[in-house]
């Protein structure tokens, strides 16, 4: 089992920045690929960004490429999502997830999920 706890969400004006953190506990964090997904009201959950177990490969949705950066610190069992140039359409609940690294852009590629953290971007 892996427990994931997100933090860092909040309310920010358009153009601003936030950094989300996801702290993991339980089984060895460093073996897992980590992803961030988001779900806006009335919409399906969508892939945002992912990083492989070593941090050597990252994957971004086109909508966030160039604005968001994922990183991980395996010594701290934590993955980060730096979000810059935020837009109102980035408003959603953001979830981090841990998985085996297959289907890394798909929800079904992940076995463990956090409870989510709200990000609200005002215009």
pLDDT band of 27, cuts 50, 70, 90? confident
Rounded Cα–Cα distance for residues 64 and 73 (Å): 21
Tens-place pLDDT, residues 57-73 = 999 999 999 999 999 99
Chain Cα centroid distance, residue 81: 6
> What would the mean pLDDT of 67-95 be, rounded to a whole number?
97
């Amino acid at each position: 089992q892996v427990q994931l706890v997100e933090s860092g969400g909040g309310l920010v004006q358009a153009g601003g920045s936030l950094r989300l953190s996801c702290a993991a506990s339980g089984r060895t964090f460093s073996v897992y690929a980590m992803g961030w997904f988001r779900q806006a009201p009335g919409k399906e959950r969508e892939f945002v960004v992912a990083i492989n177990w070593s941090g050597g490969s990252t994957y971004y949705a086109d909508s966030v490429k160039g604005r968001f950066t994922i990183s991980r610190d395996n010594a701290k069992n934590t993955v980060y999502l730096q979000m810059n140039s935020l837009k109102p359409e980035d408003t959603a609940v953001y979830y981090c997830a841990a998985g085996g690294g297959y289907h890394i852009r798909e929800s079904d590629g992940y076995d463990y999920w956090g409870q989510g953290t709200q990000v609200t971007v005002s215009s």
